[in-house]
Amino acid sequence: MTIHTEPLKSVSDIERTTLMTFLPGRIATVFGGRRWRSLAPLAVLIVLCVLIAIANPNFIELRNLVRLANSAAVPLTLAMGLTFIILMGSIDLSVEGTLSVAAMVVVLLAANDGNGNDYGWWAVLAAVVAGTAMGFVSGLVQTMLRIPSFMATLGMWFIGLGLSVYMLGGSAIRLNDASIRDLALTRFLGLPLAVWVATGAFLLAAIIQYHTKLGRHILAIGGDEDVAKLSGVNVVRVRITAFALAGFFFGISGVLAAAQLGQSHAVIGDGRLFAAVTAVVVGGTALTGGEGGVVNTLIGVLIVTVLANGMILLGISPYIQQTVQGLMIIAAVALSLDRVRLRIVK
């Protein structure tokens, strides 16, 4: 009897595994399991680049690579902040609100065509501080009032947006401070300064994630908050710090956006939230938290940017571009998430 039960059990195990989880699981095992999966976003990026380059050799021109880097600068800085929040298993919807507040502060305090202020780089500092403060408040609201991050940051989004509308009087204010505009217009080693700032933001985020206690605690909270708490992590403090950190990165990207566009209006952040979330998830960071990181996000941002660039280079009609983008997102996530281990899909 005992001899028969053993094989029977394993057969029913296989039956429970559906085709969809079984096949990719097998392929993944053949190529080295989890290692291969974590490299999937990079593979997607490389395949995408090769395909576009074959179709239109202009793609690998130096000028285009510089442009790619330039259009990735703002999304990358934003996504760096968002990565920490998503790693915790939370979400920060205040991206657009915080960005617009930072852009509003920098424009109104530096030389502009709306008022007489001219505080130069103090304006940049103030904008970053404003962004950090917004994130700090989000963190406080979430932990102290015990409001889910989704609602807390949704509120902060609208508060930020409303504040910008009010301060800017509904119109677009031009940024006339030449040294701040140089962030977008001056080049160092062939790349606009904004790209260097974004690179700096990436390095800073990488150091925080891989070499500080904060980074490890954020991952631990995302993995399992109860376990983290029992192991002595001060969850409240880590959460507030993480939200403030995210606000800091949003503040920097607000300054970059204002420098690039040479103006600020309340809706300067429109559409950035979804772009940032998409980049983080496509890069392989799980929305459930605890898995992924800033390096994944870098690749995710590049995939999204290259895709947008490629669709123009390939001359894909604007009427179907969004559809193509949607398909690519599903494909990238399907390849990179280890769905075999997912017991439930919500």
How far is Cα 253 from Cα 73, in angstroms, rounded to an integer? 8
- DSSP H helices, the chain, are 2-16, 19-30, 34-55, 62-87, 95-109, 121-144, 149-168, 178-185, 193-211, 213-223, 225-230, 235-261, 272-282, 294-313, 318-336
**What are the backbone angles phi and psi of residue 288, rounded to the nearest 5°?**
-80, -10
The answer to whether 293 touches 83, Cβ cutoff 8 Å, is yes
Q: Which is nearer to another protein, 61 or 118 (CB)?
A: 61
Interaction of residue 192 with another protein, rule CB under 8 A: yes
Minimum CB–partner distance for residue 315 and another protein (Å): 7
Q: Would you give the binding string for another protein spanning residues 138-167, x where CB under 8 A is met?
A: ---------------------------x--
Task: Name which of 338, 335, 330, 201 is nearest 278 in CA terms.
Answer: 330
Q: Which is nearer to another protein, 37 or 272 (CB)?
A: 272
Q: Which is nearer to another protein, 169 or 232 (CB)?
A: 169
The binder of another protein chosen from 67, 216, 229, 339 (CB under 8 A): 67
Q: Report the site for another protein in 311-340 (rule: CB under 8 A).
A: 312-313, 315, 318-319
How far is Cα 242 from Cα 283, in angstroms, rounded to an integer? 20
Q: Would you give the binding string for another protein spanning residues 172-191, x where CB under 8 A is met?
A: x-x---------xx------
Minimum CB–partner distance for residue 109 and another protein (Å): 20
How far is Cα 219 from Cα 89, in angstroms, rounded to an integer? 9
Q: Which is nearer to another protein, 68 or 295 (CB)?
A: 68
Interaction of residue 134 with another protein, rule CB under 8 A: no
The binder of another protein chosen from 271, 343, 344, 345 (CB under 8 A): 271
Interaction of residue 70 with another protein, rule CB under 8 A: yes
Piece of the chain touching another protein by CB under 8 A; list 10-18, 145-153, 208-216, 260-268: 260-268
Minimum CB–partner distance for residue 115 and another protein (Å): 15
Per residue in 74-104, is it b (16+ CB within 10 Å) or e — as a string? bbbbbbbbbbbbbbbbbbbbbbbbbbbbbbb
